[in-house]
């Protein structure tokens, strides 16, 4: 499958005139990546990115230019992410920054790339605040939390009930998604949170919070955070005796494969909005799932993989369309050319459920490129977990602003 997909990509680039071979200009395009690579899946996503850039180079590069990749692990720590970004922008002098995974890391990196006038494209982070900073250098491939929360709010309010308890951990995306959902439930249904509390990302025991929630007899519980924290919360919710008649909803991170593997049966019935489901029946999705299994041994492909893949295809298109000089004196001009090429990406269709488009204005309407969340529910958990797609909804471009 690796050969099939790489060949197809190379053929399409050649057909578009993007891989020009030895007649094109020499020089290298420097790309820097900072990701959360502390889990097995995170490491494999880094491998996938490295493999795809290597495949480009083996096929002759982009317009004859090879890619020089610097791949760094920020461990979902903001100080490491900022240090990585400064290294990439000012020491490595990259033409493009990719990253990061965690919103709490990506948000402070925006100031680094804006100050260094270096284009940055995001593979995973969902916090709505990221594209609201006014930076003309930022682009987001994943779905913004402002779109996720709208789909969830309507589904909960119309199908479950309005007595909702909220628990989130100290993560920027978790905070943003929770606060946005609370605001929408207030605006759409006139209700306040039945219970709301923030915990720590590495918190082990949520039982005191869960006992308080149990006494309130909610219609639903919403949990937001990284996959590990969500899994602990779900398991403990049953341990304290909250019945399965109380619906459980999760933030977008519950789609990460670590969540059902760690949560096991406790994840059954949990619903969430995400950017991709490996139960997608489209041919492109099934080929991608098989490629990830064959190449990286990952049986359950979550949207962190799919969004990273879509990002790579968009980056290839933009680099191929950019007028790059790649000389010692052209760094600023080349960075600007890549930014402008990204801004001209229109209606890219890949693994995402809807088209991805950017435009020139440094606004969320232009830089939140993907606005079609998928509403998904778990049928079972564990290593061989199963999900079903409940709905796909393309949100208005200005929703939540």
Rounded to a whole number of angstroms, the distance between the first and last alpha carbons of the chain is 42
Paired tokens of 247: 């619906």
* Domains of the chain and CATH, by start: 2-142+280-367 (3.40.50.2300), 146-274+374-392 (3.40.50.2300)
How far apart, in whole angstroms, are the C-alpha atoms of residue 31 and residue 93? 9
**50-54, 249-253, 258-262: which is most confident:** 50-54
Q: What is the pLDDT of residue 172?
A: 79
**Region 31-58: what's the mean pLDDT?**
93
**Region 40-49: what's the mean pLDDT?**
91
190-248 per-position pLDDT tens digit: 999 999 999 876 778 999 999 999 999 999 999 998 888 999 999 999 999 999 999 99
- Percent of the residues in the chain that have a pLDDT greater than 70, as a whole number: 93
| Contact between 378 and 269 (Cβ < 8 Å) | yes
Q: What is the pLDDT of residue 101?
A: 92
Q: Which residue has the tokens 């041919």?
A: 283
Q: What is the pLDDT of residue 392?
A: 87
Q: What is the pLDDT of residue 201?
A: 65
> Is it the case that residue 3 has pLDDT exceeding 50?
no
Q: What is the pLDDT of residue 6?
A: 35
What pTM did the predictor assign? 0.79
| Contact between 348 and 139 (Cβ < 8 Å) | no
Q: What is the pLDDT of residue 400?
A: 86
**Region 24-48: what's the mean pLDDT?**
86
Q: Which of 276, 258, 235, 230 is nearest to 383 (CA)?
A: 258
| Contact between 5 and 303 (Cβ < 8 Å) | no
């Amino acid at each position: 499958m690796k050969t099939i997909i790489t060949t197809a990509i190379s053929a399409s680039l050649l057909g578009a005139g993007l891989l020009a071979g030895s007649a094109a200009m020499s020089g290298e395009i420097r790309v820097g990546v900072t990701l959360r690579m502390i889990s097995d899946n995170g490491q494999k996503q880094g491998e996938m990115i490295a493999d795809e850039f290597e495949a480009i180079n083996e096929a002759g590069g982009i317009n004859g230019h090879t890619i020089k990749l610097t791949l760094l692990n920020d461990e979902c720590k903001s100080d490491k992410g900022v240090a990585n970004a400064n290294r990439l922008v000012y020491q490595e002098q990259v033409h493009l920054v990719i990253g990061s995974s965690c919103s709490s890391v990506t948000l402070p990196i925006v100031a680094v790339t804006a100050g260094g006038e270096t284009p940055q494209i995001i593979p995973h982070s969902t916090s709505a605040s990221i594209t609201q900073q006014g930076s003309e250098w930022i682009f987001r491939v994943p779905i913004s939390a402002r779109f996720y929360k709208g789909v969830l709010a309507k589904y909960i309010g119309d199908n479950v009930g309005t007595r909702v308890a909220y628990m989130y951990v100290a993560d920027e995306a978790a905070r943003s998604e929770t606060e946005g959902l609370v605001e929408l439930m207030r605006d759409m249904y006139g209700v306040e949170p039945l219970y709301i509390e923030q915990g720590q990302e590495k918190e082990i025991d949520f039982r005191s919070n869960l006992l308080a929630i149990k006494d309130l007899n909610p219609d639903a519980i919403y949990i937001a955070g990284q996959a590990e924290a969500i899994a602990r919360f779900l398991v403990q919710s049953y341990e304290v005796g909250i019945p399965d008649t109380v619906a459980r909803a999760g933030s977008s991170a519950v789609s990460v494969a670590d969540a059902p593997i760690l949560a096991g049966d406790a994840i059954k019935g949990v619903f969430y909005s995400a950017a991709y489901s490996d139960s997608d029946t489209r041919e492109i999705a099934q080929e991608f799932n098989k490629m990830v299994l064959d190449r990286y041994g990952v049986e359950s492909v979550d949207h962190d993989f799919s969004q990273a893949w879509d990002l790579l295809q968009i980056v290839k298109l933009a680099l191929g369309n950019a007028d790059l000089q790649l000389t010692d004196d052209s760094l600023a001009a080349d960075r600007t050319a890549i930014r402008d090429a990204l801004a001209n990406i229109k209606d890219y269709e890949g693994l995402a459920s809807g088209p991805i488009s950017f435009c020139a204005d440094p606004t969320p309407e232009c830089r939140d490129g993907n606005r079609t969340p998928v509403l998904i529910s778990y049928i079972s958990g564990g290593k061989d977990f199963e999900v079903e797609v409940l709905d796909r909804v393309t949100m208005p471009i200005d929703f939540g602003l």
